[in-house]
Amino acid sequence: MSLLHQSNPTNGLFGEVRRDEGLVAAAWILSTHLSKGRALDARLLRLTLQGVFLGSDAEGAWNWRDAYEAAELAQVLYLRRHGPTLLGSKVPPQETLEALRVISALTPSQTKRSENQVALQQFSTPLDLAFVASHALDLRPDDVVVEPSAGTGLLAIFAELAASI
């Protein structure tokens, strides 16, 4: 299920926090760490989500799927900020791909999947693969692109960036 469709509230710093709002807040925090070249390791994910939701995963305030979604969204937010530089018209695609692989290496691999995710074939598109797909499509500013998975936007962000370059 997409994080935009989750709305289970939890108590946060300013009262009740909806899960989707908390994940977006966590993603913004995590994107600043990506901008500084810091790895989104388990410790950082845990501390960030505990800070946003004021509770632990053991207490049910959040779960590790939430942490993975926040890390994915952090990549999208990172690209919103730095994408025009990474994908500029004078940047060779190989350099962009290498830069994206560096960012991907800072994010957690999503090797832990629920039975439901496997049954529904819910698999996240890696950042570098999303770029390669967009490059193969040769996206133009007037193209219309729909994110087929209703996911966090790792495929759609490159269409948005193509329109701005």
* pLDDT tens, residue by residue, 77-96: 999 999 888 887 788 989 99
**Confidence (pTM):** 0.81
List the chain domain ranges: 3-164
Q: pLDDT tens across 42-88, in order?
A: 999 999 999 999 999 999 999 988 999 899 999 999 999 998 888 87
CA 98 to chain centre: 18
Residue 121: predicted pLDDT: 67
Residue 15: predicted pLDDT: 56
Which one has a higher pLDDT value, 95 or 118? 95
Q: pLDDT tens across 2-49, in order?
A: 343 344 455 545 556 688 899 999 999 999 999 999 999 999 999 999
Q: For residue 13, how many other CB atoms are within 10 A of its CB?
A: 10
Backbone angles phi, psi at 36, to 5 degrees: -95, 5
Amino acid at 1: M
Q: Let me know: does 73 contact 66? Beta carbons within 8 Å.
A: no
